[in-house]
Structure 1
Amino acid sequence: MCGGRGTRLGGDVEKPLVPVAGTPMVERVVRALAESRVDDVHAVVSPHTPATRERLRERDGVAVIDAPGDGYVADLGHALARVERPVVTVASDLPLLAGDCVDRVLDRFAGASLAAYVSVDRKRRLGVSVDATATVDGRAVAPTGLNVVADAADEPIVCADDRLAVNVNRPRDHRVAAALAGAP
């Protein structure tokens, strides 16, 4: 999913193309998916991300889906209507994602949709923003942006991995991601 405006992040670069340690976030996510057991990669872009669309159309192994740009949920629904399930979904603002993170979530897949969360405490310890929360097994958690969508109801899983806790939505999140990615 790489069609958001990125208004909270600021700047004049489309959010998916914001570099973290010299590499655009969307490229980092595509690389992580290529290193995982995921077979096909589809990039869901919108009218808000024309430069991202053009960059990804030129990339081997990535199929581009043009969504209307009506928001994350609407664009996700648009994309899901065009792919076969089950499907891994991931937000392009998860620049520390790695193939092994994706595979660990896939290891938990047993037919029901999975929604990956991290603890709110983990996000606060790292100093990154917490925009949405839920409660899983009595713990305050936040969505990671990594999910497996199937036809059965959602099953929440809580992951203990800092790489899944850093969604770049604000300038501070960007600084934390860059530091964790080893940027000078």
Structure 2
Amino acid sequence: MCGGRGTRLDSEAEKPLYEVAGRPMLDRVRGALRRADSVGAVHVVTSPNAPRTARHVAETAGARETVVQAPGKGYVADLGRALHDERVTTPVLTVVADVPLLAAAAVDAVCAHYDALAPEPTAAPSLTVCVPTALKGVLGVSADTTRAHGGRELAPTGLNVVGRVAGDGGDAPTDGASDANGTDTSPEHDERLYVTYDARLAVNVNRLADAAVAERLAEGER
């Protein structure tokens, strides 16, 4: 998902193209997905809100990448459009472009957890990947959306698995029944949580201070 306006980042660059350690965040995410053993195809969702990003994606799309053009009416609406694209099949891993430290190993770990959770195609709940909000505090990054669960406060990472959507036996995310990361929170939706302490998933770059943390950690990985 790379069609957001990214107004909180306070940068002239479109948010997905904001560079961390010399590479656009979007390309760092795409690289992690390409290297993940559990990923077969990548659908890059663009919108009119980020025209330079859309152009960059069109010019650099790889063999396993397809481009889905969304209307730019918000995360939930754009995700809904992508989920109903004929090229997209569920369950599907969804990821935002502002997690520049995403690693293939983290993607594979989430997919392995999901496979164990739903070994049969007919059992397709959705999975929301969270980190403890305290971990974000330790790292010094923002936590705009939180939720209480099991006596602790959690923050969604922007990495999720969507199980079924309308048309194949389930409910698509809809306005008024979804959180800021596009996860359906309506009572009838079968949602599971996966809590990880992986710091690479805890860094969402929403502000320049978050970008500084990401830059420091990315340099440390070299």
* TM-score, scaled to structure 1: 0.96
Shift of 1:112: 1.8
Shift of 1:136: 2.2
Shift of 1:40: 0.6
> What amino acid sits opposite 2:153 in the alignment?
A
RMSD: 1.3
Contact 1:97/1:164 (CA < 8 Å) preserved in 2? yes
> Structure 2 regions of 5+ residues with no counterpart?
119-123, 165-169, 171-189
Shift of 1:10: 1.0
Determine the C-alpha separation between the residues in 1 that align with 2:146 and 2:200. Answer: 18
Give the one of 146, 149, 153 matched to 1:133. Answer: 146
Q: What are the superposed Cα offsets for residues 71-114 of structure 1, whole Å, 9 maximum, x if unpaired?
A: 11111111111121010000000000000101111111123211
Deviates further, 58-67 or 30-39: 58-67
Question: Which of the pair has more CA radius of gyration?
Answer: 2
Give matches, 1:1-184, under 5 Å: 1-36=1-36, 37-58=38-59, 59-60=61-62, 61-82=64-85, 83-109=88-114, 110=118, 111-151=124-164, 153-182=190-219
> Structure 1 regions of 5+ residues with no counterpart?
none
Shift of 1:135: 1.6
Give the 3-state SS of the residue equivalent to 1:51 in structure 2: helix
Contact 1:136/1:156 (CA < 8 Å) preserved in 2? no
Q: What are the superposed Cα offsets for residues 117-140 of structure 1, whole Å, 9 maximum, x if unpaired?
A: 000000000000010001222210
**Which ranges of 4 or more aligned residues in structure 1 deviate by more than 6 Å?**
none
Determine the C-alpha separation between the residues in 1 that align with 2:32 and 2:150. Answer: 29
Determine the C-alpha separation between the residues in 2 that align with 1:178 and 1:22. Answer: 9
* TM-score, scaled to structure 2: 0.80
Identity between Structure 1 and Structure 2 (%): 51
Determine the C-alpha separation between the residues in 2 that align with 1:157 and 1:71. Answer: 25
Shift of 1:168: 0.3
Which has a greater percent of strand?
1
